[in-house]
Amino acid sequence: MSTTTVSQLDKVKDGPWSGGKSPWNLEYGKIMMWFFLVSDAFTFSAFLLYYGAQKFAQPTWIDADKIFQSVPGIVEHGQPLVFVGIMTFILIMSSVTMVLAVDAGHRNQKQEVVKWMLWTILGGICFVGCQAIEWTHLHHEGFWFGRNPATGLEGDAVAQALAPYFTKEISYTAALQFSNLFFTITGFHGFHVSVGILLNIIILCMTLNNTFENRGTYLMVEKVGLYWHFVDLVWVFVFTFFYLI
Amino acid sequence: MSHHHENIAAHDHHDHGGMDKKGIWKVFFILLALTALEFLIALGFVHHWGVIEKGMILNTIYIALTLVKAYYIVAYFMHLKFEKSGFIICCSIGFIFIVYFIVLLLIEGDYLLHHLQSHPLFPNN
């Protein structure tokens, strides 16, 4: 602080963890959001890992190229990965608009924050909408929690009902585990997206209400932004393990 | 307390190296390019042209690309790269256990594949 000579004792207390200053230079709520996200990442890791363990334990598995083939409203069959590609693009895009909202918040530009938050919310709603369509499509084909197209059938009919989804051997158990894990994991992710949309709407209302303007900082936008990026991050992994591998 | 809070917020305001609008769009285009590459491999090389076969090598490529994407999201979008190194370590060190967990569960899954299903069943009288 001062230019006068300091004693050894005073010098020792100069580090970031010696007290008197914030060692991480982060606001409390932001640290807590990070810790929550770390724990949430463990939850998603556990889910995806169980999926991996099941896949390793089954002699055969559903072929993603064959089960995800429709672009609802355009083609029913023959276009693998196209629809999920659109979903992935929507989510990455909404992640970008969220960073732009945070960036506008740093510059205290209320109108810009509102604009980018609106785009982010729109992106989130589009994504959840797409997921709902995808779920409906799979449900119509016979997949659901504890159910697959061959549930209730016997003998050769089982193999016949499941044949369109497998490239290698056909297994009722593998199809059932795929079905359960797909709906559980994408469901849990969709739940996170829905909560994110709700949080974004709350933050948008607070911005419009001048809450952050009066507070002098748009830190809340940043915190919700962290959550929103996390949702995008999880989708990157869900996309790889369910749709690509 | 309130003064302390303002101090952090004010400091945060100036501490944003590397993430202006240009930086944001740059990261976006990197993410888009990586995703496009994944689609090119999955739809083009594997599905349509059949140049690459599904297997361990392909999965490794996919996972590597996924991890690069995850890095860009966490480091730049979530801003972790620009936080204090103590905080970066604090948030990421726990994932060592996830790596260990992956090894454990995949070995377990493989074991079940080779052992559980070959167990004989005996009639229950």
Whether residue A34 is contained in a domain is answered as yes
- pTM for this model (two decimals): 0.88
Using DSSP, state whether A3 is helix, strand or coil: coil
Whether residue A6 is contained in a domain is answered as no
Whether residue A144 is contained in a domain is answered as yes
Check CB contact under 8 Å for A23 and B12: no
- Give the integer Cα–Cα distance in Å for A76 and B84: 50
Output the tens digit of pLDDT for each of chain A's 245 residues. 556 666 666 666 778 888 888 889 899 999 999 999 999 999 999 999 999 999 999 989 999 888 888 887 777 777 888 899 999 999 999 999 999 999 999 999 999 999 999 999 999 999 999 999 999 999 999 999 999 999 999 888 999 999 999 988 899 999 999 999 999 999 999 999 999 999 999 999 999 999 999 999 999 999 999 999 999 999 999 999 999 98
Beta bridge partners of residue B60, listed in sequence order? none
Whether residue A176 is contained in a domain is answered as yes
Structural domain total, chain A: 1
Residues of chain B with Cβ-Cβ distance to A243 below 8 Å are 42
Domain of A213? 26-244
Whether residue A123 is contained in a domain is answered as yes
Q: Decide if B44 touches A, using CB distance below 8 A.
A: no
Output the tens digit of pLDDT for each of chain B's 125 residues. 344 444 454 444 444 455 788 899 999 999 999 999 999 999 888 888 888 888 889 999 999 999 999 999 999 999 999 999 999 999 999 999 999 999 999 999 999 988 876 666 677 76
Q: Complex ipTM, two decimals?
A: 0.89
Q: Which of B1, B3, B8 to mutate to test the interface with A (most CBs of A within 10 A)?
A: B8
Whether residue A17 is contained in a domain is answered as no
Q: Decide if B99 touches A, using CB distance below 8 A.
A: no
Residues of chain A with Cβ-Cβ distance to B8 below 8 Å are 22, 25-27
Q: Which amino acid belongs to residue A150? A: A
Q: What angle do CA A85, B18, B85 make, to 5 degrees?
A: 95
Using DSSP, state whether A147 is helix, strand or coil: strand
Whether residue A121 is contained in a domain is answered as yes
Beta bridge partners of residue A144, listed in sequence order? A147
CATH at A66? 1.20.120.80
User: H helices within chain A, ranges in order?
Assistant: 8-12, 28-57, 64-67, 82-106, 110-141, 156-162, 172-208, 211-215, 219-238
Chain mean position to CA A77: 27
Whether residue A116 is contained in a domain is answered as yes
**Residue A245: CB atoms within 10 Å:** 18
